[in-house]
Structures are given as structure tokens and as C-alpha cells.
Amino acid sequence: MGKIKVAINGFGTIGKRVADAIDAQDDMEIIGVTKTGPSFGCDLAVKKGFPLYCTFDDEARIAAFGEQGYECSGGISDLLAAADVVVDCSPGKMGADNLAKYQAAGIKHLFQGGEKHSLTGLSYTSCANHEANLNAEGTRVVSCNTTGLSRTLVPLYEHCGSLQV
């Protein structure tokens, strides 16, 4: 089996960190990252060898990358068509629009924080509900605060059987 082809939609503060984690995996490859337009963040993507895509499918916005000296491989639809899974690292409140794109492309999707549980009906944290998320079409990763709480509370609950105070 070949490597899992991962798209990262949103190469900002969160997306850069996600990209580093995925890039360190032997069984995954980053096939592209998105930016809304040409900016200093594109320099890091180019330096790391990640193909750039535009967050939008608008030809003028895609062309703007080239006008600033960046090679843009296409729009979000092009990236999704080539990927096995997309990690959505876009700003909060964009999830519903992006979810529709992911579903239309038939691609598995993972939202990184900023979105409500109701968007996917699943929320993931490795220490509490890993199995519930296996084979799901999409989920969201809970916030760092929720992750920290679950790492503390889940073992206490498993050991004590109750968290009533």
C-alpha cells in the first residue's frame, strides 16, 4: 500500500504544525497546502517542498500566486481531487462551507479545532474515544484545553468510576 495522500487546507499557525507532524510520518505524504493568497507563509511551504494551492477555485486568485513569484498548483478542488484525506486548519466558522466541498469530493476530513461538535457529529481525542472515530468519514479534533482535561479526567474516571465531587 502506498502512502496516504494528505491535503492541508489552511497553512497558518495550526496548519504549519500539522504539516510538520504529517511530514514526520513514514506512511503519509503532504500533497499540498492551501493559502488564501500569496504571503510570507508561502515561503515556508516552498522551503519545505509542499506544493501550494489556493484556498479558492477562483482563477484570478490562483493567478495572483504566480504574479508574486509562487508556483500555485491550482485551487482547492484540484487539491481535494488528488488527496485521500484533508486536514482542515482553516479559521473557525469556515467549517460548514468546507465540509460541503469535502463531501462533494468524497474525501475523508478532519477539522482541527475552531468548529463545533455538531459539524461532524464526532469529536476526537486519542485518550478518550479513539475507537469511536475509526473509519469515520469526518471528525474534529478537540481543542488543546479539552485534550488536557481529558488526559487528566479520563484516567481518573476509569480508576474511580465517578467524577462526582
State the pLDDT at residue 84.
98
Residue 80 has which C-alpha cell?
A: 481535494
Q: Which of 74, 64, 68 is nearest to 32 (CA)?
A: 74
The strand ranges marked E within 15-134 are 28-35, 52-54, 85-88, 108-112, 123-124
Q: Which portions of the chain are predicted below pLDDT 70?
A: 165
* Residue corresponding to grid cell 493567478: 63
User: Domains of the chain (ranges plus CATH)?
Assistant: 4-115 (3.40.50.720)
What is each CA distance from 128 to 58, 138, 163, in whole angstroms? 41, 17, 15
State the pLDDT at residue 165.
57
Catalytic annotation on 144?
Answer: yes
The 8 Å CB, 24+ separation contacts for 78-83 are 78/53, 79/7, 79/9, 79/31, 79/32, 79/34, 79/53, 80/7, 80/105, 80/107, 81/105, 82/5, 82/7, 82/31, 82/32, 83/5, 83/6, 83/7, 83/31, 83/32, 83/107
The pairing of strands 52-54 and 28-35 is parallel
Q: Say how far apart CA 73 and CA 32 lie, in whole Å.
A: 8
Q: Which of 54, 89, 127, 144 is catalytic?
A: 144
State the pLDDT at residue 83.
98
